[in-house]
Amino acid sequence: MDVLGDGLVEALRLLLTGDQDTWAVTGLTLRVSLSATLIAFLLGVPAGTALALGHFRGRRVLHAVANTGMGMPPVVVGLFVTVLLWRSGPLGAFGLLYTPTAMVIAQAAIATPIVIALTAAALAQVDPDFLLQMRGLGATRPRALGALLMEAKLPLLAAGMAGFGAVVSEVGAAQMVGGNLADETRVLTTAAVLATSRGQFALAIAFGLVLLAIAFVVNLAITLAQHRQATER
């Protein structure tokens, strides 16, 4: 209990006193995870839409691949990205390993299957006649698809936030491709692991509480948006 209390006090001290290292780690965490989530959203929503509405050979297999990707261990993703970016690997010439860019690539690979699968599930719940009705009103196919996505905007937002939640809290891939380098690739999760290994439990708990605060703010934003839409209806 004392350790937990010390961790809470330490978290408040680090944040309220403007500790530069803590804010730098928190800032890098948000930049990497938000960038990865944006990439996953831009790739995942079109792919999920195609899976939900398309009719093509191999659609069910791709759907199964996306669902499997949702449970892919981050350390496995980190391993594949490390091999790709290793100096002797296919992308080794770019020198991206142990950089924030490598972390964005790994986290985007983790989040994209989540966004794809949840987008497909969300669009599958929309009235199947919606597109036909929009086309009957004279809307072009792109405009009809846009209207469909707006109809499912909250589930799509939830899909993006689920991807963000998955990457902001993962440690395996971030450690492998980033190297946990001070002032370069150290994020909240890897900083917490390092503090724990050094016996600095109060500091580790402080980093963990900062992560919980970020997750709470994200989920609160989604909840408020959902209630606002429900009230408008």
Cα angle: 37, vertex 179, 97; to 5 degrees: 70
Residue 110 near residue 197 (C-beta atoms within 8 A):
no
Specify the pLDDT at position 218. 79
Long-range contact set of residues 226-231: C-beta below 8 Å, sequence gap at least 24: 226/154, 229/154
Instruction: Tell me the C-alpha distance between 207 and 211, whole Å.
Output: 6
At 232 the pLDDT is: 61
Q: Side chain identity at 230, as an amino acid letter?
A: A
Per-residue pLDDT at 1 exceeds 60 = no
Give the pTM.
Answer: 0.87
Which range, of 65-79, 126-140, 188-202, averages the lowest pLDDT? 126-140
Q: Which of 59-63, 96-100, 103-107 has the lowest mean pLDDT?
A: 59-63
Q: Which of 118, 207, 208, 104 is nearest to 163 (CA)?
A: 118
Instruction: At 92, list the tokens.
Output: 């080794």
Is 41 in contact with 163 (CB distance < 8 Å)?
yes
Query: What are the DSSP E strand ranges found in the chain?
Result: none
| Domains of the chain and CATH, by start | 2-232 (1.10.3720.10)
What pLDDT score does 42 carry?
95
Averaged pLDDT for residues 188-216: 86
Which segment of 18-22, 28-32, 49-53, 164-168 scores lowest on mean pLDDT?
18-22
Point out the least confidently predicted range of 93-97, 179-183, 220-224: 220-224
* Distance between first and last Cα of the chain: 46
Question: Which phi and psi angles does 114 have, rounded to 5°?
Answer: -65, -45
Question: Which is more confidently placed, 129 or 114?
Answer: 114
Residue 194 has pLDDT above 80, yes or no: yes
pLDDT of residue 204: 83
Place of tokens 């971030």: 174
Cβ-contact 116, 64 below 8 angstroms: no
Q: What pLDDT does residue 152 have?
A: 76
Distance CA 217, CA 16 (A): 18
